[in-house]
Every structure is written in C-alpha cells, then in structure tokens.
C-alpha cells in the first residue's frame, strides 16, 4: 500500500485470503477488533483507502465470505461506517448478497437489534442497494404472513423477523412505499390473521404490533389499525424501531461482543432523550393574561366538605333487574344493578328459576355501557349464579348457543368458562368444616364480667385441677372435612354431552377443526375439567367412553394446545372412573389410547 501514492500498482489478494481464512478458523474477533477501528479512521476522508478496503473484502474467496461479512456487520459502529467499509459488495458478489439478504435475516435469528440496524441501514444508504432493501422487505413480509412459519417457527425467530420488518419500513420513503403498497397490505392482512389465530399470547400481541406499525406507515394520512394489548417495555422498544435512528445517534464501537447488547439497551434511551429534548422548553404564559381574567376569583367557594354522594338504589326484584339491563338509560341504575345481581339471584332462587333462561340470555349478550370496574367479572359471577340456581334449563341453553351462528369467539369462550365455574361450585359441598375434640366437651361457667376476683378464682381452680389430674393421653383436635351431596351428579350430562356432540360440524362463522383451533383447545380443556368434576357420579362411565372417542378423533391435531388438552382428558378419565369400570366397559378404548400414547413417546 505504501507504493500506491508513487503510482505503482499492487495486489491485496493475499491479504484477503489471510483475512478470510483467519475469520473462518475462529480468529474473527481478534482480527476484526483491531482491523475495523483502523480502517474506520483511515476511510473517513481518504477515498483511496476506501477503494483498498472494498478490494480487500471483494477478493475474499466465496467459501470464507460469510465469516468476513458477518464479522464486519457485527463490529461496525454504524450503518454509515459499514457502507464505507464494504461499498457495493452485496451488488457485486452473489455470495455476500445471499448472506446479507437471506441467511442473516431469514435463516438465523440470534443477532441483536444493533446488527439488524447495521445490516438494513447499510442496504438503504446507496441507490443500487435500495432495490435489495425493498426485495428483503417483501421476503420478510411473505415469511411473516405464512401460516406454516407462524405455527412451526419459535417465538424468538418471529420476533426477530418482526424487528427486521419494522427497521426496513423505517428506511423506506413515500415513492418506494407507494410502489409496493398493495403487496404490503395483502401480506399484512394475511399475517395478522395467522398471528391472531395462534394459541400463544406473545405471538398474537406481536402480530398486533407489527400490523399497527405497517398500517401507520402505509396509511399515514388515513385510518389505521388499532388493537388492544398491554403496553410494556418490549412493546415500546418494537414500536421505536419504526422511527429511523438519526446519524448522530450511532452506537459507538465497543472492544468486545458486549457492544451489541449495549446497543440494544441504548436505542430506547436515545429515543427517549430525543423526545425529552423536544419537550424540554416550557411554554411561558403571557404576563398580561392575568389582567384579562374575570373578577370571579374574589368569590368565596362554598363549603362542600360534608356533602355525600347520592347512591342509586339497586332493584330488589329479579324482574326489575331484567328491565334495567335490557333498556334503562339510567347509567347509575344500570351500574348498581350489575353489581347487586349476583347476590340477588342467590337470595331469591325461586324467583330466579322463573326467568333463568331469559336472564342467562341477557347476561350472555350484555355489553358494558359505562366504565364499570371489574365488569367482566361481575357479569361472569352473575351468570354462574344463574346457572347454579337453575342448572338444567340454563345449561341446555348455553350449550346450544355454543354451536349457534352469530356469536363471537369471545362469547363462545365465555360460555365454556361459565360452565366450568358453575360445575366447580355445584360439585363442592356447601357445609363448612367444624372443629371438634375427641374428648368430652368441658362445661363452662359464665362469670360476671369486670370482677377481678373471678379471674383469680378461675386461675387457682385450674392450677389445682392440673396438679391432681393424671393424663395418659390427650386427644387431638381435628377438622371435620366438609361433606354434602354432590349437586353436579344429577346435571353432569347436561353440561357435558351437548358440548361434545357437534364439534365436527363447521358453521359459516365457526369451524373448530379449521381455523378456530384455539377455541377447540379451550373446549378440550373444558371437557377434561367437567370429566374430573363428575367423579363418583352415575354418568361418569358414559362420559368417559364418549370422551375417549373424542380424544381418538383428534389425536393427530397439529396444534400443541389442543394435544395438551387431549392428554388432560385422558388423565381426567383415569382419575374419575373406578378401575373396575375401566377394565370392564372401556377395554378397547383404553388399549387404543395406550397404543397412541406409546407411539407419541
């Protein structure tokens, strides 16, 4: 290199070979931690050194190119530095293009956010490379929208792809977005559907965040998607990736591998500091505005410290509650009714049985009129109270509505929750445990209160009795376990069999064996709980036989949540049915289940 200013030519192929071989044989950290800072300083203002650096990486053999490119991407202090060091390598070298656009984004997911920002920022800093950036975004969106990828790839990889999509969007300008708007919109609609169908909450929330961000980017002036989910640090960090990092916020170079982890932590803090800087200057009020105020400031405020809030009285009859819930415009009365309904139903079982199905229908379709704290829980407890008060007709209504048209998935899962809670309440004994002693109960003498002599007298007598009494054994106090009839015994079939009958019949808006597999998983777990609560009941053997046939029909389901529920069903059958009935009445079903479980192991 020292002969270049003299006009003499030289070759650095040998240096390229040494660099590639050293990186691929595990010396990447030692070589590049020294080389990259040196080349960064030399290429800042010297175009000759930039060309030397480009030739250095371009002449690395293809079999070693991945290790060199990965090392530069990981250790470059920013996208602009990486662009200065690599030039248009991804355009000139097919191997480097494959590593940058395919392997590091779609086949690997262990790299940090800082690496993604370096990589995608590098593609965005040159006109020739921006075409690759758009191509990368399209491939990432196709993978994100693939139902097979959502089902079979780990959550960490899906989060990695989501980060890459948001960073790509942050680098696109309006003409580029307009050129591929329709394709982005199509992939967004398919992808959000696949993510919302997932049984994992983190995958569903990830789909909501990415869909919101895409919608905000492609429809900056129009309506955008908006979902309800819990905001946390991870959510805010993902959304911050949609805002492009300014050039002066480049993460500084670190001497070791901890640089990437620190860069991840630095990004949200940089954005937060920028936000604070924008809002730091306080708005000074106009000094002359005080003179324009009205003279009402001189009035003495009325003392309202002893005033009490007027509380709306809740209805005292069940039929009055129905009228309020169906059509009352008095919001306070509606709120008081929903809060008092559960206790009113339990206090008036006879009146509740007269209108139980009608009340269950109203509560199933009831929507929140005002912001009532704990509304969902209040409505659920009232529904459970109605179902336990009049189990058979209400259970028939709820189980029939589970497979009816024009119900949302949330309402169908509410029905399952209500059936489980009511079954638990009915199967539990109502009497409370009583403490008793094995010895005879001691007679007690009531003494006059306030008499000091009486206390001394009691103490003296106790001491005399204790000194003259010989004890060979003392009885231990024990709590008598609660006991009572199992009220679920006579109604278990009404809860169980209607749910298991029509699971394989697809409806227009509801397909358990198709896209609504999350509800199928909830149904399977519900049947397992009902089976467990039906222990020692008359119908338990028939229920167990039907449940094993149900399990056998779904044994090869692809969703892990459904298969986990099937194992719960088998456990409930074995725990609830006596061993002699299992061997006599269900031998064939047990053998089939055993062979299936053995094959799964």
> SS3 sequence, 465-486?
HHHHCCCCCCCCCEEECCCCCC
Q: Which residues does 375 contact at the CB level (< 8 Å), separation at least 6?
A: 338, 368
* Res 439: pLDDT: 39
Reported as a single tens digit per residue, the pLDDT across 195-243 is 888 888 888 889 899 998 888 888 877 777 888 888 888 888 888 888 8
Same domain, 491 and 583: yes
State mean pLDDT over 253-265. Answer: 42
User: Is 454 part of any domain?
Assistant: no
User: Is 265 part of any domain?
Assistant: no
* Res 392: pLDDT: 93
Output 310 or 382, whichever has higher pLDDT: 382
Report yes or no: 322 and 355 within 8 Å, Cβ to Cβ: yes
Examine the fold and report which residue of 115, 137, 153 is the final residue of a domain before the chain moves on: 115
Report yes or no: 513 and 504 within 8 Å, Cβ to Cβ: yes
CA distance 81 to 87: 10
* Res 340: pLDDT: 86
**Token pair 């240096």 in the structure block, residue:** 15
Q: Domain tally for the chain?
A: 4
Examine the fold and report which residue of 216, 244, 272 is the final residue of a domain before the chain moves on: 244
- Residue 277 scores a pLDDT above 50: no
pLDDT interval class at 26 (50, 70, 90): confident
* Res 591: pLDDT: 84
Report yes or no: 530 and 387 within 8 Å, Cβ to Cβ: no
Same domain, 52 and 81: yes
User: Is 191 part of any domain?
Assistant: yes
Q: Which among 362, 282, 280, 357 has a CA at the least distance from the CA of 321?
A: 362
The DSSP bridge partners found for residue 480 are 434
pLDDT interval class at 249 (50, 70, 90): very low
* Res 384: pLDDT: 93
User: Is 288 part of any domain?
Assistant: no
Give the DSSP letter of residue 153. S
Reported as a single tens digit per residue, the pLDDT across 325-339 is 887 777 788 888 888
Q: Which among 453, 538, 442 has a CA at the least distance from the CA of 488?
A: 538
Same domain, 173 and 224: yes
* Res 448: pLDDT: 41
Same domain, 550 and 420: yes
* Res 357: pLDDT: 92
Same domain, 111 and 223: no
* Res 267: pLDDT: 41
Q: Which among 29, 117, 125, 110 has a CA at the least distance from the CA of 68?
A: 29
Same domain, 133 and 235: yes
Q: What whole-number percentage of the chain has pLDDT above 90?
A: 15
Same domain, 101 and 171: no
Of the listed ranges 5-9, 337-341, 530-534, the least confidently predicted one is 5-9
- Residue 181 scores a pLDDT above 80: yes
User: Is 401 part of any domain?
Assistant: no
Output 588 or 416, whichever has higher pLDDT: 416
Q: Which among 552, 543, 538 has a CA at the least distance from the CA of 497?
A: 543
> Can you say how many angstroms the Cα of residue 294 is from the centroid of all Cα atoms in its chain?
53
- Residue 396 scores a pLDDT above 70: yes
- For residue 284 the two structure tokens come to 């000074």
Name the packing angle between helices 181-196 and 201-218 (round to 10°).
160
State mean pLDDT over 39-48. Answer: 84
pLDDT interval class at 403 (50, 70, 90): confident
Of the listed ranges 32-41, 126-135, 176-185, 280-289, the least confidently predicted one is 280-289
Same domain, 105 and 184: no
- For residue 106 the two structure tokens come to 């779609």
Same domain, 98 and 227: no
Output 165 or 370, whichever has higher pLDDT: 165
* Res 305: pLDDT: 64
pLDDT interval class at 160 (50, 70, 90): very high
Reported as a single tens digit per residue, the pLDDT across 534-569 is 888 888 889 998 998 888 888 888 888 888 899 999
CA distance 366 to 361: 8
Q: Which residues does 151 contact at the CB level (< 8 Å), separation at least 6?
A: 198, 558, 559
User: Is 37 part of any domain?
Assistant: yes
94: three-class secondary structure by DSSP = helix
Examine the fold and report which residue of 244, 261, 292 is the final residue of a domain before the chain moves on: 244
Give exposure, 222-239, as e/b (b: 16+ Cβ within 10 Å): eeeeeeeeeeeeeeebbb
- 222: containing domain: 126-244
Same domain, 60 and 135: no
- Give φ, ψ of 407 to 5 degrees: -120, 140
Of the listed ranges 116-125, 128-137, 144-153, 478-487, the least confidently predicted one is 478-487
pLDDT interval class at 252 (50, 70, 90): very low
User: Is 407 part of any domain?
Assistant: no
Q: Which residues does 561 contact at the CB level (< 8 Å), separation at least 6?
A: 199, 517, 518, 521
Output 451 or 560, whichever has higher pLDDT: 560
* Res 529: pLDDT: 93
Same domain, 24 and 4: yes
* Res 199: pLDDT: 83
- Give φ, ψ of 478 to 5 degrees: -140, 155
Provide the sign of the torsion angle of the four alpha carbons 219, 221, 225, 229, taken in this order: positive
Q: Which residues does 380 contact at the CB level (< 8 Å), separation at least 6?
A: 414, 417, 418, 421
* Res 299: pLDDT: 65
- Residue 447 scores a pLDDT above 50: no
* Res 31: pLDDT: 87
Same domain, 92 and 161: no
CA distance 209 to 202: 11
Element of type H or E holding 434:
strand 434-436
The DSSP bridge partners found for residue 436 are 478
Average pLDDT over the chain reads 79
């Amino acid at each position: 290199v020292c002969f270049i200013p003299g006009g003499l030519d030289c070759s650095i192929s040998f240096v390229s070979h040494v660099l590639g071989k050293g990186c691929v044989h595990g010396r990447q950290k030692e070589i590049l931690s020294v080389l990259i800072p040196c080349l960064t300083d030399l290429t800042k203002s010297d175009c000759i050194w930039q060309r030397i650096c480009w030739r250095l990486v371009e002449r690395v053999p293809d079999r070693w190119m991945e290790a060199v490119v990965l090392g530069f991407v990981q250790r470059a202090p920013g996208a602009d530095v990486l662009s200065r060091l690599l030039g248009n390598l991804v355009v000139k070298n097919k191997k480097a293009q494959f590593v940058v656009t395919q392997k590091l984004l779609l086949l690997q997911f262990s790299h940090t956010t800082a690496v993604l920002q370096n990589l995608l920022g590098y593609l965005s800093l040159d006109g020739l490379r921006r075409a690759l950036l758009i191509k990368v975004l399209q491939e990432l969106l196709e993978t994100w929208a693939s139902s097979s990828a959502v089902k079979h790839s780990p959550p960490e990889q899906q989060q990695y792809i989501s980060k890459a999509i948001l960073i790509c969007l942050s680098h696109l300008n309006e003409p580029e977005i307009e050129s591929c708007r329709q394709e982005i919109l199509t992939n967004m609609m398919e992808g959000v559907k696949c993510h919302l169908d997932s049984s994992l909450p983190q995958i569903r929330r990830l789909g909501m965040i990415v869909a919101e961000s895409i919608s905000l980017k492609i429809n900056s002036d129009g309506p955008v998607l908006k979902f309800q989910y819990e905001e946390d640090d991870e959510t805010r960090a993902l959304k911050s990736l949609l805002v492009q990092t300014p050039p002066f916020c480049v993460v500084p170079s670190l001497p070791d591998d901890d640089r990437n982890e620190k860069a991840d932590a630095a990004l949200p803090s940089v954005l937060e500091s920028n936000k604070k800087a924008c809002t730091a200057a306080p708005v000074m009020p106009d000094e002359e505005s005080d003179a324009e105020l009205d003279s009402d400031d001189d009035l003495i405020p009325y003392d309202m410290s002893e005033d009490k809030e007027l509380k709306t009285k809740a209805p005292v009859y069940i039929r009055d509650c129905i009228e309020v819930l169906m059509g009352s415009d008095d919001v306070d009365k509606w709120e008081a009714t929903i809060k008092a309904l559960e206790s009113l139903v339990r206090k008036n079982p006879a009146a509740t049985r007269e209108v139980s199905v009608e009340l269950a229908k109203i509560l199933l379709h009831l929507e929140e009129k005002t912001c009532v704290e704990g509304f969902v829980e209040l409505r659920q407890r009232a529904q459970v109270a109605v179902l336990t008060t009049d189990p058979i007709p209400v259970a028939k209504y709820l189980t029939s509505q589970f497979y009816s048209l024009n119900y949302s998935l949330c309402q169908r899962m509410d029905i399952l929750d209500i059936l489980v809670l009511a079954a638990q309440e009915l199967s539990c004994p109502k009497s409370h445990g009583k403490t008793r002693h094995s010895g005879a109960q001691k007679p007690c003498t009531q003494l006059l209160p306030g008499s000091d002599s009486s206390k001394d007298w009691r103490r003296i007598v106790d001491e005399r009795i204790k000194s003259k009494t010989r004890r060979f054994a003392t009885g231990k106090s024990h709590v008598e376990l609660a006991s009572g009839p199992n009220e679920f015994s006579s109604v278990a079939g009404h809860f169980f069999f209607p749910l298991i009958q029509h699971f394989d019949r697809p409806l227009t808006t509801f397909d358990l064996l198709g896209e609504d597999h999350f509800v199928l998983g909830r149904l399977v777990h519900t049947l397992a709980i009902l089976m467990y609560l039906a222990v020692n009941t008359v119908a338990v053997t028939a229920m167990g036989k039907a449940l094993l046939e149900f399990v056998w029909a779904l044994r090869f389901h692809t969703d892990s949540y459904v298969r986990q529920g099937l194992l719960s069903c088998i456990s409930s059958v074995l725990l609830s049915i006596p061993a002699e009935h299992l061997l006599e009445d269900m031998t064939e079903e047990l053998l089939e289940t055993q062979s299936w479980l053995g094959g799964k192991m």
